[in-house]
Amino acid sequence: MILTANKANKINLFVRYLEVAGFVAIWMALGWLLRLDSDAYLLLGVPLLLLFQLVVRHRPVRQLWVRDPEQPLRFDWVAAVLSLVLMAVPAYLLFAFALPQRLWVDAGWALCALVGGGIAGWVLRNQRADALKRGLPSFIVAVLIGWALFIVAALLSGRSPMVALDRMPSVLIDLLKYFAVTFVLEEVAFRGALDSHIYPPSEKSTRIHAWVSAIFVSAVWGLWHWPIEALEPGQTVVELVALLLIVHTAIGVPSSFSWRQSGTLVLPALAHALIDAYSERRHVLEHD
């Protein structure tokens, strides 16, 4: 009976890996078929993610942001204030920029950031201090790797990796909007749903599986970028795919561990936002 149970568990785990791969493959295929730009491609993930979480995983939506299904969650005035602060920048982007100019895809992105800001404030309020401390080392590693990769890329291309001081307010705005939007787009899918699907919080696992699962999710996260990445002059498809795999695995593995250790999406979302905010504003000295 024990052998049978172990075999059944292995088969179940293998199926879950296939489900993760299938989910990402469908998302990528639709991106190619519909010829979506990067923002529309991201927005496509919202209905796909909800279907995956509710129909395939049979898990409540709250577990996309908080791993422990038993953790009591509260929404009080502190959570409300945090949510309002994090919703401010997305609200400005939506109502002062996207909607007046009828930029519908941008409006969809800003709406996701607006909703994400509300969720982020609530999740941040329910972040346990002890769990946050456990996840900090992995979070720091993810951010440093991400920044280091962009610095090296900038130097190799002959550009400055520095950000001009007068652009720092823009970096802060980018940080706030990216942190908010990752609670609805991208990070919530790859850490909140897919990582938890093959490394559930309720199941005991080996250290090997902890690493294998983190590497697998990070690798498919890298592949997921393929439909929206253009080839650089002289670059082959093989080189592009290899670069996506290396970069996102290097960043994604510590991000997965920070998600598992901290218990919420706060740290991986913040790491993602810090990396994106820097990459958005790097080498601006050449354009001043």
Query: What distance in Å separates the CA atoms of residue 154 and residue 152, rounded to the nearest whole number?
Result: 5
- Place 281 in a pLDDT band, splitting at 50, 70 and 90: low
Please state the rounded mean pLDDT for residues 175-179.
Answer: 97
Task: Give the pLDDT confidence of 33-43 residue by residue, as tens digits.
Answer: 999 999 999 99
Please state the rounded mean pLDDT for residues 77-104.
Answer: 97
Residues 271, 255 contacting (CB under 8 angstroms): yes
Residue 288 has pLDDT above 70, yes or no: no
pTM for this prediction: 0.92
3-state secondary structure of 66: strand
Task: Give the pLDDT confidence of 126-141 residue by residue, as tens digits.
Answer: 999 999 999 999 999 9
Residues 6+ apart with CB under 8 A from 211: 253
